[in-house]
Amino acid sequence: MRFDGRKFDQMRPVNVIRNYTKYAEGSVYIEVGDTRVICNVSIEDKVPIFLRGKGEGWITCEYNMLPRATQIRKIRDITRGKIDGRTMEIQRLIGRVLRSVVDLKALGEKTLWIDCDVIQADGGTRTTAITGAFIAIVDAVNKLHRKKNFKVYPIRKYLSAISVGIVNNEKLLDLCYAEDSNAQVDMNIAMTDDGEFVEIQGTGEEKPFSRKDLNQLMDLGENGIKKMIEIEKRSLKMDALWIGTGDKK
Amino acid sequence: MRFDGRKFDQMRPVNVIRNYTKYAEGSVYIEVGDTRVICNVSIEDKVPIFLRGKGEGWITCEYNMLPRATQIRKIRDITRGKIDGRTMEIQRLIGRVLRSVVDLKALGEKTLWIDCDVIQADGGTRTTAITGAFIAIVDAVNKLHRKKNFKVYPIRKYLSAISVGIVNNEKLLDLCYAEDSNAQVDMNIAMTDDGEFVEIQGTGEEKPFSRKDLNQLMDLGENGIKKMIEIEKRSLKMDALWIGTGDKK
Amino acid sequence: MRFDGRKFDQMRPVNVIRNYTKYAEGSVYIEVGDTRVICNVSIEDKVPIFLRGKGEGWITCEYNMLPRATQIRKIRDITRGKIDGRTMEIQRLIGRVLRSVVDLKALGEKTLWIDCDVIQADGGTRTTAITGAFIAIVDAVNKLHRKKNFKVYPIRKYLSAISVGIVNNEKLLDLCYAEDSNAQVDMNIAMTDDGEFVEIQGTGEEKPFSRKDLNQLMDLGENGIKKMIEIEKRSLKMDALWIGTGDKK
Amino acid sequence: MRFDGRKFDQMRPVNVIRNYTKYAEGSVYIEVGDTRVICNVSIEDKVPIFLRGKGEGWITCEYNMLPRATQIRKIRDITRGKIDGRTMEIQRLIGRVLRSVVDLKALGEKTLWIDCDVIQADGGTRTTAITGAFIAIVDAVNKLHRKKNFKVYPIRKYLSAISVGIVNNEKLLDLCYAEDSNAQVDMNIAMTDDGEFVEIQGTGEEKPFSRKDLNQLMDLGENGIKKMIEIEKRSLKMDALWIGTGDKK
Amino acid sequence: MRFDGRKFDQMRPVNVIRNYTKYAEGSVYIEVGDTRVICNVSIEDKVPIFLRGKGEGWITCEYNMLPRATQIRKIRDITRGKIDGRTMEIQRLIGRVLRSVVDLKALGEKTLWIDCDVIQADGGTRTTAITGAFIAIVDAVNKLHRKKNFKVYPIRKYLSAISVGIVNNEKLLDLCYAEDSNAQVDMNIAMTDDGEFVEIQGTGEEKPFSRKDLNQLMDLGENGIKKMIEIEKRSLKMDALWIGTGDKK
Amino acid sequence: MRFDGRKFDQMRPVNVIRNYTKYAEGSVYIEVGDTRVICNVSIEDKVPIFLRGKGEGWITCEYNMLPRATQIRKIRDITRGKIDGRTMEIQRLIGRVLRSVVDLKALGEKTLWIDCDVIQADGGTRTTAITGAFIAIVDAVNKLHRKKNFKVYPIRKYLSAISVGIVNNEKLLDLCYAEDSNAQVDMNIAMTDDGEFVEIQGTGEEKPFSRKDLNQLMDLGENGIKKMIEIEKRSLKMDALWIGTGDKK
C-alpha cells in the first residue's frame, strides 16, 4: 500500500478538459492526481531558420511552473534572469518526444508551439505535460486539417508518457511528489500505442540499478502507458479518427 | 447596446473560486467575463532589506500572462530577456493598491507575495487581478490570524477595482478587449468600501477628456466597484468577519 | 507656508534653455526648482515593426537618472542588469502623453526618440520631463517643417504636466522631494492648452481620497498647467507659430 | 564495417593525460577518437546554500565547448546571453552521475567543481567528459586524502559512460559525429564497475525502438563500459588504491 | 592650421564648473571645446570584498554617454543588454589612473565612486573625464578632510590627461572628433605634475609609428598636460592647498 | 637573477603547435613558459553591418580563460551574466592589433574570427595570444589563398607582442604572473618586423614612470619582439612565403 492508498501499479485519477482556453488552436487542461497542467498549442506560419525553405514543419515546447505550483514559492525565471536547467531539460524532452510521432514533412512549413504551464505540481509534471500536449496537438492539427485538408495526415501514432521508479526498494508506477522525492531510481518513459519507446530517461542517483530492475520498470511503465493512451482515446473520441491514417513509414 | 449585449453600466458575469490550488496560503481563481486570472498569495517570514528591523510587513506583486492568454501568442519574458513595461506597471499598481488597505505594522515582519497569472485575457486583467488578490489576501491573513491571533487585524477595508472608458463617445463600465482596444479614454479605478479612491489612472491617448467626462466616469466606476465589493462579500462570507475590526485610522 | 517658503498653489521657478546640445534635432535643458532634466529629441527615418507601411509616425521615450541625481547614489540600470519599474512607468507615460498631441499621420513614417536624462532630482522629474520634451519636440518638428514643409503641421496643441498632492492634509501644487516623500496623496496631471486631460495618475497609498479631494486637486493642477504653458510659449516665441494650425480634429 | 573502419562493437582509441594543467586539484585531458576534453576539478571549502550545516559535500559540473570545437563556429554563450539547453542538460547529467559514486557525507562540507571544456568535438563529448571527470575527481580526492586522511574514503566505485545507438538499422558502440548525426536511436549509458546503471538516456526521435533493441543496446554498452573502466584503472594505477575501500553501503 | 583654426600644439578652450550638482560630494562640469562631461564623486563607507578589513580605500569609475551625446543616437547599454567594450575600457582607465595619485591607505576604508557622464562628445571624452574627475575627487576628499582631518592627506599629486595623435602625417595635440576619426595614430597620456607618466595608450591601427614619432608625441602631450594642470590649479585655488602635503613616497 | 632563473632580458621558452584542432581554418597552440593558449581562426563569408557592401573584410577577436586557467577558479562569464572588463579590453586589443597588419580591402568581404582560449595563465596571456593569433591568421589566409589566389596577398607584415615592466625597480622582459602581480609598471607592446609600433599600453598604477624608463622599456621590448618574430618565422617556414609580397603601402 502506497502513501495515498494506491497499489504499486496503479495510476492516479486522470482528468482532461479540451478547449480549455478560447484563443489557442489546441488547449488542454490535464490533471493527474494533484498535478495540473495547461497545455496550449499555437500554430505559427513559419519555421526556425535552420528549416526555412525545406518544406518541413517544427514542434517546439516551452514549459513553466507558476511560482506557487510548489510547496515553497519558486522565484520566476525572469526575476532570476535565467531559465533553470530542469526547465530546459523538460521542455527539450517534450518537444523531442512529440516530434517523434508527427510527420513534419506532412505538416509543411508551420511551427507548433506547445506551452505547458504547470498550475500545481505533485510529481510527474513532465509526463503529464506530454500526455496533455499530445491531445492539444491533435486538436490543433485537426483545426488545420478541416481547413486545408492535408494530403498526408501528420499525426502517425498515439503517444503518452509515465513515470516509474524505485522507492524503498519497491517498484512503483506514476510517482507523486512524496514518492518522487524519496526515489532511489527515477525513470520517465514515453511510448507509442504500438508499444515502442520514444524516450527512456532513468537515473539512479541514490542507488544504481540492475538490468533486471530496468526490465521490471519497463513492464510497469508499458502497462501505465497503455492505460494513458486509452484515456487519450476516450477524451479525443471521433477527433482521433485520422491518427495514423497518413502513415507510410 | 454594447458589443456583447450589455448595457453601458453593466459588468460582465463574475465567478470566484477560493482555495484553487493546494499549496498557496491564499489561492483564488477569478473570472470576469472571459478574463481569467489565478491569484496566489504566499507568506514569507522576512521583508525586503529597506524594511528590516522596522517591525513592518510588505506586500509585493508579480503579474504575468500565459503566452497564449491572448489572441496572438506572446513571447515569454524569459525568452525576450526582460519584463515588458506594461507588466511592470501592472504589478506595481497591484502591490501599491493592496498595501493601501493593509496595516503593515499590524502584519509584522512578513511579506505577502501576490502572484497574478492570467490564464485568458479579455480586457480588465489588472482590475480583475486586484479583486482576486484582495480575496486571496484575506484568506492568507486569516490563516495567520487563526494560528497566531493578530493583536490588530491587519485588513482595514474592502477593496476592489474596475475599468471604465469612453468608446465611440459612450461612457462604459468594465471594458472587454474589443472595447478596450478602441477606447478613446481608458481609466482604471481602485476604491475602498467607504467610497474613497486608492488609485485613479486615466489616459486619453486617442482623445483628451474634460472634467465633466472625468466626473461621469467616476460615477460609473463607483457603482461598479460597489457591486464588485458585494461579490467579494458573498464569496468570503464568514471569513470576512474581521475586516476593518482592527482599524484605528 | 511650505518647506521652501512657497504658497500652496505656487510653482517653483522654471528655467528653460533650448538648443542645449549641438547634435540632437531638439534639445532642451529644463529646471523646475532644483529638478534639472536634459530632454533631447532625435528623428529617425523609420518606425517600429508594428507600424511599418502604415504611413504613420511614432514617438517613444527613454528616461534615466544620472546615478548621483539623488541624495543616495543609485546603481546604474546596466549594473543591476534591468530597468527598474519606476523608470519603465515614467518613460511609458512620457511617450504616451506626447503622442496624444501629435498627429502621427501628419508626421509620416518617422520616429521621434525622446531622451529625458535627469541631472538632478528634487521631485516632479516626470512632469518636468514632459514639459521639456514638449518644447524639444516642437524644435525637432520645426526642423523637419522648414526642410520639407508638412502638408498638415503635426503638433496639434500645447501640452504640459504638473504634480499635485496632499501633504499633512494640505493640497499642494508642484511638490518638491521633501513634500513628495511625505505625501498622503500623489497625483500627476498632463493637460492641453484647451484645458482637457491627457493623463491623470493619482495614488492614495498612505490615505484614500474622496471625490471632493480629487476635484480640488484638479483645480490646483489646472492652474499650474496654465502657467506652465505660458512658460512654454515664452520660451518658444515665434517657433510656436504653427502649433494647432494643422489640426482638423 | 563502419565509416572509420571500426567494427560495430569497437570503441575509438582512448588517450588520457593526468595532471594536464598545474593549478587544478585534478586535471585530465582525455581523447576518445577525435573528441578531446579537458576535465579540471577544483575543490572549494564550502557548499551550496541548500546543504549548509549538514556536514555533506556536493559535486557540480560546468560543461562548455570552445567556439571552434565544431565544424561550424558556435557563438559563445556569453555573446548569446544564455546557456543553451543542450549544455544545461549535459552539465546536469555529468554532475548527477558523478555524485552517484561519491559518498558526499564522507567528503564533508566541500564542493567539487568539475569543468569540462571541449577542445574538439567528434561525438560522445558527454560520455568522454564523464570518464575524464571521474579520473580527475580521483586525483582531487586523493590530494585531500593525503593531506587530511578521510575516515571513510569517499569514492565508492569506478564509473564510466559510453554512447550506443542505431544507425542504418545497425546497433553500434561509441558513435562518432558522422554516425551520431544520422542515428535513428541515440543512447547514453553510465555504469559502475559492478555492472549497475547509474543513468540511461535513450531517444528514438527518428524511429521508436523496441524492448529487444533496448536490451541489445544495453549489452553493447555494458561491454564498452567494462573496457573504459579498464582504461581508467590503467591510467590511475596505484592512485586507484582506495576506491571502494570506504564503502559501507 | 587645423580644422578649427588651432595650431598643432594648441588645446581647445577649457571651462570648469565646480559644485555642479547639489548631492554629490564632488561635482564638476567640464568642457574641453565641445566635449562636455559631468564628473560626480560619491563617497561610500565601504570597500569591495577583495579589500575588506585591510584598512585601505578604493576608487572606481563608471563612464557613460547620453544617447544623443553623439551625431548618431547611440542605443542605451540597458537596451542592448550589455556595456560596450569601449565604455569598459574607458572606465577601467579612469579608475586606474586616479588611483595612482591617491594614497588609498591614507583614505581608509572608503570607496570613491566616480561617475563620468558625457553630455556632448567631440573627441577626447576620456581625457576630459580624467581631468574633471581629478578636480571632483579633490573636492570630495576635502569634504572628508574638513570633517575628520586625515592624518595623511590622501591626494599626492596633480594629475591630468590629454590626447595626441598623427593626422595626415601631422602630430597634433588635443584631437577633436573630426581629427580623431581620421587619425593614423591615436594616443592618450595621463601624467602627474612632476612630469611622470601614469598611463600611455597608443594605437597605430591605420599606420604603425616609429620610436621617433613616439617621442615627439610625448613632447606634445607633456606640454598639453602642463597647461591642463595649470587650469586645475586655477580652478581649485585654495582648495588645492593640501595636495602632496601628506606624501611620503 | 629573476624568480625563475632568467636574466632581465630573457624570454621564457616558447612552443608552437600549428593545426592543433581539425576544424578551424587556422589553429595554433602556443606556450610561453607556463602560459598556454589555443588560438583558432575561423573564416566567415560575411562582414559586420557597418562594413556591408564596401568590399572590405574584418578581423575580430574573442578571448576567454578556462575557469581553472588560474590559481583560484574564476567564475564563467555566462554564470556572472557579463563579460568582465579585462576580457573586453584584451579582445579589443588583439583584434585591433591584428587588423593593423592585414590589408582588409585585399581580404575582401570576409570576417576572420580569432578565438583565443587560455588553458593555463602565467602572465602575458594577451601578448602570447597575439603571437599565436598571428600564426593562425597566416594559416587561415593561406588556406584561402591556395583556393582563390588573392590578387593582393593580405598579410603585410610580421607582427608580435611582448610584455615588459618594472619590478622591484628592475626593468624586465616577458613577465610571468609572480612578477606581473608585483610590477610597479606594466607595459604591453605590439610591433611589426620593421620595428614600428602598432600598440603601446603602459600603466604605472603603483609608481609613475619617466621618459627615460619608457625608452629603456621600449629597448627591452623591441629586442624581445625580434626574437618572437624569429620564432614565428621558424614555425611558419615556407608558409610565410607570401607575407608582405602584396604590400603597396
Q: Is B70 part of the contact surface with chain A (CB cutoff 8 Å)?
A: yes
Q: Which residues from chain A sit within 8 angstroms of residue D83, using beta carbons?
A: 82
**Nearest CA to D213 among D159, D172, D156, D162?**
D172
Query: What is the structure's pLDDT at F247?
Result: 66
Nearest to F205 among E99, E191, E195 (CB): E99
CA distance B66 to chain A (A): 8
Q: Would you say residue A249 has pLDDT above 70?
A: no
d(CA E197, CA B24): 64
Give the pLDDT of residue A131. 98
CB E106 within 8 A of CB E207: no
Min Cα distance E44 → chain C (Å) is: 9
Partners of residue E16 on adjacent β-strands: E30
Question: In the predicted model, what is the mean pLDDT of residues D221-235?
Answer: 98
- Whether the per-residue pLDDT at D83 is higher than 60: the answer is yes
Whether B168 contacts chain A with CB within 8 A: no
CB contact under 8 A, B88 and C88: yes
A36 close to B117: Cβ distance less than 8 angstroms: no
With respect to residue A93, please indicate whether it lies within any of the assigned structural domains: yes
Q: Which of D201, D205, D208 sits opposite A99 (nearest CB)?
A: D205
Which of A 114-153 lie inside 8 A of D, CB atoms? none
Q: What is the pTM of this model?
A: 0.94
Read off the pLDDT band of A219 (50, 70, 90): very high
Nearest to C22 among E34, E62, E64 (CB): E34
Say if residue D231's pLDDT is above 90.
yes
d(CA A244, CA E28): 76
Q: What are the residue ranges in chain B where pLDDT is below 50? A: none
CB contact under 8 A, C120 and E21: yes
pLDDT of residue E222: 96
Contact criterion met (CB < 8 Å) for E38 and C117: no
Residue F7 lies in a domain: no
CB contact under 8 A, D70 and F23: yes
Overall number of domains in chain B: 1
Distance CA A79, CA C82 (A): 10
| Arithmetic mean of pLDDT, C28-45 | 98
- Give the phi and the psi of residue A168 in degrees, each rounded to 5: 45, 45
**pLDDT band with cut points at 50, 70 and 90 for residue C217:** very high
Contacts of F206 in chain E (CB under 8 A): 100
pLDDT single digits (tens) A151-178: 999 999 999 999 999 999 999 999 999 9
pLDDT band at F158 (very low <50, low <70, confident <90, very high): very high
Of E91, E92, E203, Cβ closest to residue F96? E203
Are A73 and B42 inside 8 Å of each other by CB? yes
Among chain F residues, CA nearest to E204: F198
Residue E107 to residue E99: CA distance in whole angstroms? 11
Q: CA of E196, closest CA in chain F: separation in Å?
A: 5
Residue B67 to residue A119, Cβ atoms within 8 A: no
Chain D residues 7-66 with CB within 8 Å of chain F: 21-24, 27, 34, 36, 38, 40, 42, 44, 62, 64, 66
With CB atoms and an 8 Å threshold, state whether B44 touches A115: no
The DSSP bridge partners found for residue A189 are A162, A200
Which chain B residue's Cα is nearest to C202? B200
Q: What percent of chain D has pLDDT over 90?
A: 93
Percentage of chain B exceeding pLDDT 70: 99
The answer on pLDDT for F249 being more than 80 is no
Residue D247's pLDDT band (cuts 50, 70, 90): low
Give C152's contacts (C-beta < 8 A, 6+ positions apart): C103, C105, C106, C246, C248
Q: Any CB–CB contact under 8 A between F71 and chain D?
A: yes
- Closest listed residue to residue B62, CA positions, set B28, B82, B43, B39: B39
Q: What is the ipTM of this complex?
A: 0.95
CA-CA distance, D237 to D244, in Å (whole number)?
15
- Subunits with at least 3 CB pairs below 8 A relative to chain E? C, F
A chain contacts of residue B71, beta-carbon cutoff 8 Å: 23
pLDDT of residue F206: 86
What is the SS3 assignment for chain B? CCCCCCCCCCCCCEEEEECCCCCCCEEEEEEECCEEEEEEEEEECCCCHHHCCCCCCEEEEEEEECHHHCCCCCCCHHHHCCCCHHHHHHHHHHHHHHHCCECHHHHCCCEEEEEEEEEECCCCHHHHHHHHHHHHHHHHHHHHHHHHCCCCCCECCCEEEEEEEEECCEEEECCCHHHHCCCCEEEEEEEECCCCEEEEEEECCCCCECHHHHHHHHHHHHHHHHHHHHHHHHHHHHHHCCCCCCCCC
A106 band by pLDDT with thresholds 50, 70 and 90 = very high
What is chain E's mean pLDDT, rounded?
96
Mutation target vs A (from D98, D164, D214, D229; most A CBs, 10 A cutoff): D214
Percent of chain C with pLDDT over 90: 93
Q: Is the pLDDT of residue A95 over 90?
A: yes
Using N-to-C axis directions, what is the helix angle for F125-148 and F85-99, rounded to 10°?
Answer: 40
Residue A65: pLDDT over 60: yes
A43-61 tens-digit pLDDT: 999 999 999 999 999 999 9
Question: What chain A residue is nearest to D218 in terms of C-alpha separation?
Answer: A211
Q: Which residue of E has its CA nearest to F217?
A: E211
CB contact under 8 A, F23 and D119: no
Instruction: Please indicate if any CB of chain D lies within 8 Å of the CB of F111.
Output: no
* Residue B171 domain-assigned (yes or no): yes
Compute the average pLDDT of residues C118-140.
Answer: 98
- Report yes or no on D242 lying in a domain: no
Residue A96, annotated as binding a ligand: no
Please state whether at least 3 CB pairs lie below 8 Å between chains E and C: yes
**pLDDT at residue E143 in the model:** 97
Q: Residue C206: pLDDT band by 50, 70, 90 thresholds?
A: confident
C161 confidence band (pLDDT: 50, 70, 90): very high
Mean model confidence pLDDT for chain D: 96
Residue A97 has pLDDT above 90, yes or no: yes
**Domain-located, residue C110:** yes
Q: How far apart are CA E61 and CA E120, in angstroms?
A: 19
The pLDDT assigned to A247 comes to 67
* CATH value at residue E190: 3.30.230.70
Assigned domain for B135 exists: yes
Higher pLDDT, F188 or E207: F188
| Cβ–Cβ contact E204 with F under 8 A | yes
Q: Which of D96, D211, D214 sits opposite A203 (nearest CB)?
A: D96
A interface test, pick of D83, D130, D200 with most A CB neighbours within 10 Å: D200
Note the pLDDT tens digit of each residue in E68-108.
Answer: 999 999 999 999 988 999 999 999 999 999 999 999 999 99
D169 touches chain F (CB under 8 A): no
Whether pLDDT at C247 is above 80: no
Chain B residues lying within 8 Å of A76, measured CB to CB: 62, 64
F62, F66, F69: residue with CB nearest D67: F62
Maximum Cα–Cα distance for chain D, whole Å?
56
- Pick out the residues of the known binding site of D: 86, 124-126
Q: Does residue D246 lie within any of the structural domains?
A: no
Provide the pLDDT for residue E246: 86
Which residue range(s) make up the domain with A45? 14-236
Chains B and F touch (3+ CB pairs under 8 A): no
Q: C74, C153 in Cβ contact below 8 A? A: no
Residue B209: predicted pLDDT: 96
Distance CA(F11)–CA(E34), nearest Å, equals 47
Q: Is the pLDDT of residue E183 over 70?
A: yes
In a domain, E8, yes or no: no
pLDDT-derived band at F246 (thresholds 50, 70, 90) equals confident
Of the candidates A100, A194, A195, the beta carbon closest to that of D204 is on A100
How confident is the model at residue A248, as a pLDDT? Answer: 61
pLDDT > 70 in chain D, percent = 99
